[in-house]
């Protein structure tokens, strides 16, 4: 199952290596990982897309939390979120096929950012499925080069920041709950 984690980390050198090293050392998968500074310049946010069953996700989150440089880990998988990814793609376009390519670009509200004799460079943002659909349609023309950023995601109803309600306290509470799927209804309401 696909999982989206929003991870706030100290904006130091070496933190990315700690996080990616943890995934490889413990045999967890990374489907995509994006990282950038947040509204607080001392904090970076990593959006990690991974997959695994509940116990695996639980271990990933616990192991991430264990890193001293990790400030907060939030699972966005089941939340109401806005998800975006950006693609830059260089598409074959001769004089005869160019109008067809442009039509696909317009349909997806993408942009043409560079034009060459035999190709067009297209920029598009959207959800993973939108980008996949568009690339499917562009494939017959010939995709010369494809660059994807990986997913970023923001929750609609709350802010995930260092100062938010979601501090270490909540993290600790969660750690005291039973593991995996064994949460009873009573405990769910306690949360």
Partner 1 sequence: MKIRGAQILVEALKKEGVEYVFGIPGGSVLPVFDALYDAPFKFILTRHEQGATHMADGYARASGKPGVCIVTSGPGATNAVTGIATAYMDSIPMVCISGQVKTFLIGNDAFQEADMIGITRPITKHSYLVKEVQNLARVVKEAFHIATTGRPGPVLIDLPADVSMAEAEFEYPKTVHIRGYKPVLEGHPKQIQKTAELINKSKKPLLYVGGGCISSGASEELLKLAHKAGIPVTTTLAGLGSFPEKEPLALGMLGMHGTVYANYSVQNCDLLIAVGARFDDRVTGRIEKFAPHAKIVHIDIDPASIAKSVRVDIPIVGDVKHVLKQLTPLVEKLHLKDWHEQIAGWKQKHPLKFNMDSSRIKPQYVIQEISRLTKNEAVIATGVGQHQMWTAQWYSFMKARSMITSGGLGTMGYGFPAGIGAQLARPGETVFIIDGDGSFQMTMTELSTAVYNKIPVKVAILDNRCLGMVRQWQELFYQKRYSSIELGPSTPDFVKLAEAFGAMGMRIEAPAEVAPAIEKALAHPGPVLLHFMVESGENVYPMVPAGQAIDQMIDMA
Q: Does 96 bind partner 1 (CB under 8 A)?
A: no
Site string for partner 1, 15-54 (x = CB under 8 A): --xx--x---x-----------------------------
Q: Count Cβ atoms below 10 Å from residue 132 Cβ, excluding itself.
A: 12
The answer to whether 118 and 92 are in contact (CB under 8 A) is yes
Tell which one of 38, 65, 118, 125 touches partner 1 (CB under 8 A). Answer: 65
Only one of the segments 91-99, 100-108, 116-124, 173-181 lies at the binding site for partner 1 (rule: CB under 8 A); that segment is: 173-181
Binding positions for partner 1, rule: CB under 8 A: 9-10, 14, 17-18, 21, 25, 55, 58-59, 62-63, 65-72, 162, 168, 172-173, 175-180, 182, 190
């Amino acid at each position: 199952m696909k999982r989206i984690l929003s991870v706030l980390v100290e904006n130091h050198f070496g933190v990315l290596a700690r996080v990616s090293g943890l995934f490889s050392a413990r045999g967890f998968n990374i489907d995509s990982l994006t990282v950038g500074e947040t509204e607080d310049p001392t904090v970076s946010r990593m959006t990690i897309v991974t997959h695994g069953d509940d116990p695996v996700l639980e271990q990933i989150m616990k192991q991430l939390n264990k890193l001293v440089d990790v400030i907060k880990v939030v699972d966005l998988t089941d939340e109401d979120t806005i998800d975006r990814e950006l693609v830059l793609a260089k598409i074959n376009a001769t004089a005869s096929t160019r109008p067809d390519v442009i039509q696909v670009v317009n349909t997806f509200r993408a942009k043409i950012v560079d034009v060459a004799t035999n190709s067009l460079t297209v920029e598009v943002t959207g959800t993973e499925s939108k980008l996949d659909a568009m690339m499917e349609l562009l494939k017959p023309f010939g995709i010369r080069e494809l660059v994807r950023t990986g997913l970023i995601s923001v929750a609609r109803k709350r802010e995930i920041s260092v100062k938010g309600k979601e501090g270490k306290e909540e993290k600790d509470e969660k750690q005291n709950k039973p593991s995996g799927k064994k949460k009873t209804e009573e405990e769910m309401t306690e949360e």
